[in-house]
Amino acid sequence: MSGFIEPLHSADTLRYYEKIKLMPRVHRSSVGVRAYSNKDLSRLRFIKRAQRMGFSLDEIAQLLGFRENPQQAKPKVRALAHQKLAAIEEHLVELSTLRDELRLLTNLCGASPDGCPILDEIDKG
């Protein structure tokens, strides 16, 4: 066994990963502390990085399965990554629009003698 996990994941998260089979059951010491092998730590780093890329836990489970035979899975991995990229690009457009709207509203708010254009705009829904 290599060691103990750094606080990248909470104990509750690690138990959940075991429950949903994202992680195998890990070895426990005689006092019940989880001890992670290098392979376990690599898997946890993979999960964390995939989450930062926006992949869901279900998608991460697929990606972990694809790691077993990456060359054969390559087209499926590429398709999944392409879908994620399209979703991120769409989200970036939405964020850019939101940024522009908030920039305008904060400028209007500073110039408004009465009321609050920000609250008024949020009220409109």
What is the per-residue pLDDT across 85-116, written as a single tens digit (0 to 9) for each? 999 999 999 999 999 999 999 998 888 788 88
Residue 4 pLDDT greater than 70, yes or no: no
Segment 43-52, tens digit of pLDDT: 999 999 999 9
Q: What is the pLDDT of residue 2?
A: 47
Contacts of 9 (CB under 8 A, 6+ apart): 17, 44, 47, 48
Closest CA to 26 of 54, 2, 52, 59: 2
Rounded Cα distance between 118 and 104, Å, is 9
